[in-house]
Structure 1
Amino acid sequence: MRFEVYPVLYFSREQPRKVYGIVRDAAGVPKYVVQGTWDKSIDMLKVSSWNGNMEKPKVEVDDTSLRRIWTANPLPKGSEKMHNFTKFSIELNEPEDGVAPTDSRLRPDQRLMENGKWDDANRKKLEIEEKQRVVRKRREAEKEVAMKRGENYEEYQPTWFVRVQDESNGALIHKYKGGYWEAKEQQNWSKCPHIF
């Protein structure tokens, strides 16, 4: 099965936050329509007929097959003060013991911001960004020297991921290569760069 999402333009006459997609079988024949809004609910309906156009299928659905497949949870009290985030979104950044020192939840500027220390957070953010620029410039200089000497230069490699081509669409993606959970279990973060 393959799922295609059809974008709804932000400034269109369509219902705001609308989601619409068609699920096709291996031969490309539309089987289901998925529709709703990303902030309320999503429904799925069986396709009863379609126009046979693979590029721009026009489908008819069987209304009796309507099945609610997702419903948004109510927002927590006071969420309007937290960008209308869900409980899950709000808790994503909660600190956790034993994570890699490169975990974004450990960013000192982020912690300062969450504690309401905006000026300190902005200063720390600029400091971290400057540190990253220095490292990038050093790598670029090392690469240039290696190229002038006719030597190979090994590009930066992520610690836990490898860059591969996605089989379904050819895009370059990062695929987990292993090692993180073992390092976490042993609390051995020696492979982690010092980024903060």
Structure 2
Amino acid sequence: RGFSIWSVLKNAIGKDLSRITLPATINEPTSAVQRITEDLEYIDLLRKALHAQSSTERLMYVAVFAVSGYSNTLYRESKPFNPLLGETFEWQSADGDTRFLCEQVSHHPPISCWWSEGAQGGFRYSGELEMRSKFWGKSVELIPTGTCWLQLPGSGDLYSWEKVTCQINNLIMGKYWLEWHGTVTIKNHTTGESAEVKLAKCGGKQERRGELSGTVKDTQGHTAWTISGSYLDSISASEGKGGGPGQVVYQCTPLPTDAEEQYNMTPMALSLNNPHPGLLRELPPTDSRLRPDQRELELGHTEEATSEKLRLEEKQRETRRVRKEAGEEHAPMWFEMRGGPDGKDLIRTMKHNDGKEGPMWHFTGTYWQAKQVSDWSRCPDVYSKS
């Protein structure tokens, strides 16, 4: 696999990989809009935040939640499919308590928007993400741009943070591996409190991947909580500046015993590709689980998957050409850009939207209304061969 990847990427040094056609053999049978759903794997942390005794304790749980999603990626050697414009992914928890929707709202630049709600309206998690990538010869950098927003209506708290950089190392020789590094800063825009969690570079020592340390500061800048541990194992928190073992607030879910045969997916990731038949009948025609290339790859048909992937990408280019000739622009189905017509100027600088009261893209809520009456007539044709 290392040779096949190198043969494809050797002429792409310094380029944005989202603009390069790659064979389906380097993919796993998921879409990037689907992968965002996995942010909610440790949703219990948000439920604990709702019952916290203080605003700083709530922030501690939110900070741990903000880094918990990195745990499901480190052993995933294959990339998800790039989302097609207009592609969506819906998820609802087995207990019906949480629902999630993500839509690919822009192609150049590639932007995904999501919205979720859970705990009987106790939290709303939303945001926008543009994943930029650069290939440097021996490594690939994935640079997430955009903001995650979490609202807890009960306490009135509004939090925001941004994701850190992912680096894929050792592409040429041996077995490649990835790590996340950087500092996640979580701000409570309601109280003025903040938290920082540092994910340090492991310096080539893979056994140190996942290690982190952080603090929660009150409005006076004093350390209210200290966070330490690893998102690949467990994370503990202690009040004040720490010094003691603290309480374990997060425990990483182990991979299935046959994980290597299933792209090293977590139990939650595997469940996303196996919805009950009733849900499949309810989904819009734009849902990722209906992508022909993704489905062929899941069935082990690699040649058919690559053929379908190329067809879908060409269909997308043709749709864009026809739209351009007609002087039209793509209009997302379920999200609207904030800021009116000048909002487009914000796309490239959305990383710097500190202080805005909510995401740049606003979820309209009409998706659930359309689902209730099974009316997907306005959805774009993303996958068909016509």
TM-score (norm 2): 0.41
- The separation in 1 between residues aligned to 2:355 and 2:291, in whole angstroms, is 34
Per the alignment, do residues 19 and 92 of structure 1 end up closer, same or farther by CA in structure 2, a change over 3 Å counting? farther
Counterpart in the other structure of 2:320: 136
Q: In the alignment, residue 111 of structure 1 is paired with which amino acid?
A: R
1:107 paired residue number: 291
Aligned mates of 1:190, 1:115 — CA distance in 2: 29
Greater RCO structure (CA 8 Å; 6+ sep):
2
Shift of 1:90: 1.3
Q: Distance in 2 between matches of 1:162 and 1:79?
A: 39
Taking structure 1 as reference, are residues 8 and 135 closer, same or farther at Cα in structure 2, changes over 3 Å only? Answer: same
Alpha-carbon spacing, 1:23–1:175, altered in 2? closer, same or farther (3 Å): farther
Quick one: structure 1 residues 110 and 186, their matched pair in 2 at CA, closer, same or farther if it must change by over 3 Å?
Answer: same
Q: State the aligned residue count.
A: 173
Which residue number in structure 2 is paired with residue 80 of structure 1? 260
In structure 2, the partner of 1:147 is none
- Structure 1 regions of 5+ residues with no counterpart? 49-60, 144-152
Q: What is the rounded CA distance, in whole Å, between the counterparts of 1:42 and 1:142 in structure 2?
A: 54
What are the equivalent positions in structure 2 for 1:12-31 lying under 5 Å apart?
A: 15-31=208-224
Cα deviation, 1:111-135, whole Å, max 9, x if unaligned, reads 1111111111110111011111112
Measured in 1, the distance between the counterparts of 2:203 and 2:297 equals: 33
Whole-Å Cα distance in 2 between the matches of residues 177 and 28 of structure 1?
37
Q: Which runs of 4+ in 1 moved over 6 A?
A: none
Residue 185 of structure 1 corresponds to 372
2:217 pairs with 1:33: no
**Helix, strand or coil for the counterpart of 2:203?**
coil
In the aligned structure 2, how far is the partner of 1:102 from the partner of 1:41? 37
Code of the residue aligned with 1:163 in structure 2: it is M
Amino acid at match of 2:374: Q
Answer yes or no: is the 8 Å Cα contact 1:42–1:68 preserved in 2: yes
The one-letter amino acid of 1:8's match is A
Alpha-carbon contact 2:217-2:223 (below 8 Å) kept: yes
- In the alignment, structure 1 residue 3 sits paired with structure 2 residue 183: no
Counterpart of 1:148 in structure 2 is none
Give the drift of 1:27.
4.0
Change (3 A) 1:172 1:178: closer
The yes-or-no answer on 1:176 pairing with 2:360 is: no
Deviations 1:31-87 (A, max 9, x none): 212221121111112223xxxxxxxxxxxx2416x0101101222120122232211
> Contact 2:199 / 2:210 at 8 angstroms: preserved in 1?
no
Aligned to 2:334: 160
For structure 2, the residue ranges without an aligned partner over 5 or more in a row are 1-192, 339-345
In structure 2, C-alpha distance between the alignment counterparts of 1:142 and 1:25, rounded to whole Å: 54
Equivalent-residue separation in structure 2 for 1:17 and 1:109 (angstroms): 32
1:100–1:189 contact (8 Å) kept in structure 2: yes
RMSD over aligned Cα atoms: 2.5
How far, CA to CA, are the matches of 1:195 and 1:115 in structure 2?
A: 21
Looking at structure 1, the residues matched to 213 and 325 of structure 2 have their Cα atoms a distance apart, in angstroms, of 48
User: Would the alpha carbon gap of residues 92 and 26 (structure 1) be closer, same or farther in structure 2, given more than 3 Å must change?
Assistant: farther
1:46·1:62 contact (CA, 8 Å) conserved in 2?
Answer: no
1:159-183 residue CA offsets vs partner (Å, 9 max, x unmatched): 1112237874559643321111111
- Which one has the largest radius of gyration? 1
Match of 2:273 among 80, 93, 97: 93
For residues 75 and 38 of structure 1, the distance between their equivalents in structure 2, rounded to whole angstroms, comes to 13
Match of 2:244?
A: 63
Look up the SS of the partner of 1:63 in the other structure: coil
- AA in 2 matched with 1:131: K
Distance 1:156 1:26, change over 3 A: farther
- Give the alignment's TM-score, normalised by structure 1: 0.76
Conservation of the 8 A alpha-carbon contact between 2:235 and 2:249: yes
